[in-house]
Every structure is written in structure tokens, then in C-alpha cells.
Structure 1
């Protein structure tokens, strides 16, 4: 017969059968007391027990068998040992009931107001072109129906866009390692280098009579670096305050004939404010003592993030920049057209980046909830796919509403036809799904798809107008579908969402 106690259904699960009393074995005076050692090891659970059965349950959960108890402590079973412990150790009563823990923070929560603010500061710099239009009017045309100086501004903007995407990733990587000083140093070195790169790229395509466009492109490159520093250091509101004079002046030009001197002054004030605030915040961040506790505990902080890991982010930034410019400037590629046709699409796409960021957080939050609620892989994949459909559908609704609003409010802008609206929506899908893959570390995949699409769009410029128009719609359509499928495949796995 086993030495385990017999459970009596009539007296409860914790009852034990009656058995003859057995005297504990005598312990020599020189030997250690195993019962005292056991009580010390069990800690506060023994004096806090209100019944021997509570101690017996603790002993059994500790893995003690009856054979082990008989050999080690000289008692018949866990109940006998529990009774001895209960009798020997003074009672202290149950411990005070702890305060209820604070409610757990909801993961991946982001304020909608903060995301909308970022979308606004992304869109406001576009008003600088409205305010500075007279300074570009004297340059020579480009021969393809483009406004004067457009190529100078676009090439400089694309170079700065790509560089600052990679720079932002490197600075964020330092911040993730807990080294704010190194992040500030990366911005302090990288932002001026990006300004030089943007100026050099614009200079390479500057033609006769385009000196004003080159000066504007230089200011644009300086702004891009300074704004990147403020955004990385989470100083969005400072950037908004600095851009306010320029934005108000641009809106004023829609109703009044603002003198050129006033236009130049407003541009200079906002530009100088952005540059000064960025310099101040970077220097402040650089004064943080390097080697904080978090950085010291992270072995990766010793050598820093790899430069090569930032390269795909730069390629992704360049490719998406090219695609966005093709989408919003496709109306400029025909003779006799003006930039006002493309303005509503550009503003709508830029403003949509705020809600897009908020919906990225919503996707991660929804997948986190699905991960906790699902018990099978197929159930989680279904939940992730439904979350993707809701978030992506919500973004397209927002983008379409912004396109309609900007078209109505923009004076002189024609209503975009179905083809151009569909092309803009496809570009929006590419941007959102690409940013989503980038957020989960699959930036190389997103950069590859977007780069191929940008190359195809560029190659189509050297073909006939019919081919160009077809490619302008087919390429972003196919690329957006590929990215959406990749999101379902890569992010439909539970392992992609675990920390």
C-alpha cells in the first residue's frame, strides 16, 4: 500500500484518514533541526497560515512526497509534517491584503491629437512654395511643361528626403539603446551633412537663370535637417510654432497681394526659428551624461547601431519620395499645366500621414489583443487580417476625404478624375503598408518593392504618353497589392508580434 493519504469524499478533499499516532524520531542534540530549516525556507507562509491544511498544500506544491517526508523529517506524510510546523511556529495571521495593482497600461496606445499634430507639421512646409513663388518666377522653363525651377527643387528635396530618413533611423536607434547623447551627436553631424548633400544635388541640375531656385533648394535642405532633429527629439510643437509665421503669410497671400519683402521676411523668420530651435534642442540632448544605466546594461550600446542598418530606410525614403512626387505632379508633365492642379493631392497625402501613424498604432494594438485572445495560429491570422482590413480601409477613407476637402477649398483646383484619384489611393496604400512593414523590422522588403516601383515609374517617362499614363496607375496598383499580401503573410504570424 502507498503511504499517500486516502481521500474521503464524505469529509472533503483536504481530509485525511485516521491513523495511529507515531512519535517523531528523537534527534541528537548535536544535529541540525531539519524542521526549523524547513520553516525558515518556507518563510512567511507558515506563520501566516490559519490551518495546518494550508501548510500541507504548500508542501505538496513544493514537490514533497510522503517518502521524502518520512526519510527527511520522520513524519508520516505532509499532513503530519504540516501539523508539527503549525504547532511549532508562532501565528502571525494572514498578511495584510495588498493594494490592488494599478490598471495595466494598454499597449500601443497613441493619442490621436499628437498624430494629427505630426501630420500638420508635415504639411505646413509645403506652404513655403506658395509664399516663395515670386522668387522662382524668373527662371527659365524646362521644356516639358514643368514650372520654372521645378527640377532643382525636386532633386534637392529627394536627396534630403532619403538622407534624413536614414539619419532619423540612426538617431532613433541610439535612443532605443538609451544613449541620448549619441543620438544628439548623430543629428549634429548628420543634419548639416544632409543639407550639403541636398544643396549639391540641386546644384547638379541647376541651369541658367535658376539661381533663385538653387537658393530656395538650399534653404529647403537646411530646413529638412533641422526639422528631422526636432521630430526625432519629440519637439513637434516647437516645429509647429516656428512654422506659424510662414503658414499665416502663405494663407494671407490667397486673399491679398503680399509684397515680396514681406514674403521674404516671413520665410526668413520661420526658417531661422526652426534652425535655432533645432540647434538648441540638439545641444541640450548632447549634454546628457553618456553611459546611463540603461545604456550601460545594453552591450550593443558599446559599439552603437550599424550604419548599414540605416541604409534600407534611406532607400525606402527615396523610393516613396519618387512615387509620391509622380503621383502629385503627374498633371505637371503635360504642356500648359500648372502646379495648382497637383496641390490638393500633395496636401491630402501629406496631411494623411498623421492619421496613418495613429492607425499604425491601432493595428499593433489590435494584433496584441488578438494574440492574447487567440488559442490557435489560424485564429490569430484571421484576427490580424481583419485588423489590417479595418485599419487600411480607415486610412483610405481618410485620404479620400482629405482629397475631396482640399480640392473644394483650393481655389482654382479642378476636380481630379477617377484615374488620378485611384493612383493617389494606391500610393497611399503603398505608403501605409510600407510604413507598417518598416515598423516591424521588415524595411528591406518594403524598400525593395517601392524601389522597383519607382524605377518602373522613372523608366516610363522615356516612353510615350499612353504608356506613361498606364504605368502611372498600374505600377502603384500592383506594388500596393504586393505590399498588402506581404503584410498578411509576414505579420499574420504570432511570432512577429511578440517582444
Structure 2
């Protein structure tokens, strides 16, 4: 079973990302209307202001930019400098950080039971994926508008809702299917970690997350090495303490987000009302992606673990996809300063896109070899597991392209593309003859993943002609 980061979608950009590439002219503006004129001269319209920066129109964006410039206490970077968004080590480790609790799964299965462990994790992962994505996007939008305290409150609310949803879902599952009480605790802890770790990454506290989860990882490894039930119980207890520390740190960060003393901000309901409608496509896309990936794995988590674990490399590679997406945008914005004509930029950006896609596919292929090697040495490698690993490589390549397209506001197109992939799998699975082998289903999923990748590649190649998207 694989899990993904709850905030994998690219968030709206901040005001700083807007101002830095504009040159010195915007810093000499004496009123918001002058800033608006500069923005419109650069090709920014109301649609881009809404989808990329979270503002209703260009004039609202201009007022925020003018206020931001007036409040700046540090000198502007030298002319020609580009504000870089890529953080190599931190971003590439995001996938590994999200997967740290996996070290506790063997110990937890001894308390909950394998027949309950994986179904509970699948359900909580799907719910947390959607809730975390929605909360993170709203929070990024609020930060871009200059309301950090409201952004923290949004993240805090998402964490609470996620924990409550996990508790209710697990309780119903335990009552209806006569499951153990430990299942409820497992689902709550999984959901709490998933959303709280996303909050720590939102505030760029990757080091905190790694340090707080290190004892739990070591305890989980100790249980795997020793195999004693008492060590397993101790590992679970250490894991609970570590996850509680992660949740506490996340809550403290959201409470401290407004500064000291916190600046006055409008009511949260007033701030998020304009964003709710724009958030619906992103919410739908998060839901579709969760359904597409998790439904393909969920049916194998109990009786075909070789297929279920074959896609684990995608989890480890999600951070690399995020980092390469930021690198592409940094290099594309830098390229605008080096070329004279749009055709030159298109040719250069195509090379950058091809480079990014190849690096992502190569990295995911190497990571996919890790679980396949484990299956080989344990004598459980199969054609189905190889096909499932290949499908996850294709999905990962599509997610890299989806990061870029989402950052351009093309979320509706992403929903349509994901809908086409869902029409192939699982809907296409209904057309398979009764009693078809698992290989037929996995190959169908591989075809759907490959189609998803090709569609997004075509959409992204087309968007390279629109130079103003990269200003």
C-alpha cells in the first residue's frame, strides 16, 4: 500500500513570487493603480489573479502587492535575480518523511491484526489526502493575501476535522464488521500524523519532523530485528508518543503563525468565502486522484501483498517530483530573461520539460526497483508486481506534470484527464470477463496510468507556448 502527501498540489503563489521577477519599475509605483497597470502590461488578467495568486481580480492583487512593497524592510535583490523556490534536500526528502510511520506497521499489525490494519490505513489515507489538500490550498491562499494567522487556523481546523473523521469512520467499521478497538486508535494516529506532518512541511520544519519521528523508527526497526511481542508493544507506545509530539508541534506552529502580538485579521469565514468556489476543482481533483490510486491497490492489500507493496517507490519519490517541479519553474523564469522571442522560450522550455520528465521517470524507476528487489529475494516476485511498479512510475510522471499544470491554474483540465484515466480503470475493469486473472487488472491499470501521463504531457507541452504563465 502506498500513501501520498496531502498537499501534493501546487499552492497559489505568494506576493513575493509575483514581485521579484517584475524588475525595479514596480518598486517605484506610488499607488496601487500604477501597480495594476504594470501587472496588466505583463499579461496578468483577472483569471490569473484568481487561479495563481488567490485574489478576485488584478486590482485586488495590485493593492496587496503595493502594501507588500511598502512594508518591505529588506532591499530588493539585484536586477536580474530570480527568487528560487526549489530547496533540494528538504523537498526531495518529503516522500521519505511521510513514509516514516511505515516502520511501525509490523508492530502495529500484531495488535490490530493484518486483516484490519491495511483496510484502515487505506481509508484514512484517502480521507486525509483530500482534507489535507483542501486545507493546505486554502492556507497558501491566505498566506499570499497576507493573513498568516487565518492560514494557521485553517490548517488547525483541517487537522481536527481529519481526526474526527478518522475516529467516526473507524468506529463504524469496527462496529459493523466486529473489529477491534485498537483499529480506532490506529486510524486516529495515522490521520493525525498524515495531516500534522503536512503542517510541519507547510512551515518548512522538515528537520523537526525527522527528529521527532526518529525514536519511533528505531523502535519499529528493533521490533523487526527481535520479533518479541513485548518489543512490539513498546514500539507502538514510542510511536504514539512521537506522533503526539508531531501533532503538538503542528498545533504550536499554527498558533504562532500570526506573530507576536498577532495582527488583527478579518473573520476567517469572510476571508475564505471567495476561495471556496475556486477550491472546488482542486478538491475534486484531490478526490479523483485518491480514488484512482487507492482503488487500484486496495483490492490486493490482504491476499496479494506482492502487488500492494510494488508501488512503494512512488511514496519515496514524491519529494523528488515536488523538487523537480520547483526546479522547472525556477529555470523557466530565468530563461525569460535570457531569450528575446517567445519561440526561443518555447524551444528552451521544451528542453527543460523533457529533462524534468526524464529525471523523474529515471528516479522513480530506481526507487521502484527497491520493493521489487525485496520481493525477488523473498521469492514472491511476480509479473503482476512488476506491472504494478511500472504503473506507479507512470503515475509519478503524471504527478510531476500535474504539479506544473496546477500551478498554472489548469485544475479543471487535470480533473478531466483524471476522469479519462478512471474511465479506463476501474470502470474498464467491469468489461473484463468474470474470473480474469489479477494480471489483466494490473495491466489495465498500467494502461490507464500511461494514458493519464500522455494526456498531461500533451497539455503541458501546449502550455509552453503561453509565455506569460512563467513570468
Q: TM-score range by the shorter chain?
A: 0.7 to 0.9
Aligned residue in 2 for 1:218: 188
In the alignment, the residues of structure 1 paired with residue 463 and residue 352 of structure 2 have an alpha-carbon distance, to the nearest angstrom, of: 14
Q: What does 1:45-444 align with in structure 2 at a 5 Å threshold?
A: 102=78, 104-137=80-113, 147-206=115-174, 207-258=177-228, 259=230, 260-289=232-261, 291=263, 306-326=275-295, 331-332=300-301, 336-338=303-305, 341-346=307-312, 348-408=313-373, 412=378, 414-415=380-381, 417=383, 418-444=386-412
Larger Rg: 1
- Distance in 1, matches of 2:138 and 2:322, equals 20
Secondary structure at the counterpart of residue 337 of structure 2: helix
**Superposition deviation, residue 392 in structure 1:** 0.6
CA shift for structure 1 position 171: 0.8
CA distance in structure 2 between the aligned counterparts of 1:227 and 1:319, rounded to whole angstroms: 22
Secondary structure of the residue that 2:226 maps to in structure 1? coil
> How far off is 1:495 after superposition?
1.7
Cα distance in 1 for partners of 2:379, 2:128 equals 29
Structure 2-normalised TM-score? 0.73
Three-state SS of the structure 1 residue aligned to 2:257 is: helix
Say if 1:179 and 1:290, in contact at 8 Å, map to a contact too: no
Q: Which runs of 5+ in 2 are unaligned?
A: 1-76
Q: What is aligned with 2:67?
A: none
What is the number of residues matched between the two proteins?
A: 381
Q: Which runs of 5+ in 1 are unaligned?
A: 1-100, 140-146
The verdict on how the C-alpha distance between 1:129 and 1:321 changes in structure 2, with shifts beyond 3 A counting, is farther
> 2:463: which partner in 1?
490
Alignment partners' CA distance in 1, 2:382 and 2:205:
36
Q: CA deviation at 1:317?
A: 2.4
- 8 A Cα contact 1:131 1:249, kept in partner: no
C-alpha RMSD of the superposition: 2.9
* 1:122–1:261 Cα change, 3 Å: closer
Give 1:458's match in structure 2, choosing from 420, 426, 434.
426
**Deviation for aligned residue 1:345:** 2.3
- Please state how far the C-alpha of 1:310 moved relative to its aligned partner: 2.5
- Tell me: higher relative CO, structure 1 or 2? Use CA pairs within 8 A at least 6 residues apart: 2
Mapped partners of 2:139, 2:359: distance in 1: 31
Distance 1:440 1:128, change over 3 A: farther
Query: 2:359 & 2:414 partners in 1: Cα distance?
Result: 21
8 Å contact 1:120–1:351 — kept in the other structure? Answer: yes
Q: In 1, Cα distance between the equivalents of 2:328 and 2:244?
A: 38
Contact 1:153 1:213 in 2 (8 A): no
- Please report how far the alpha carbon of residue 164 of structure 1 lies from its aligned counterpart in structure 2 after TM superposition: 0.8
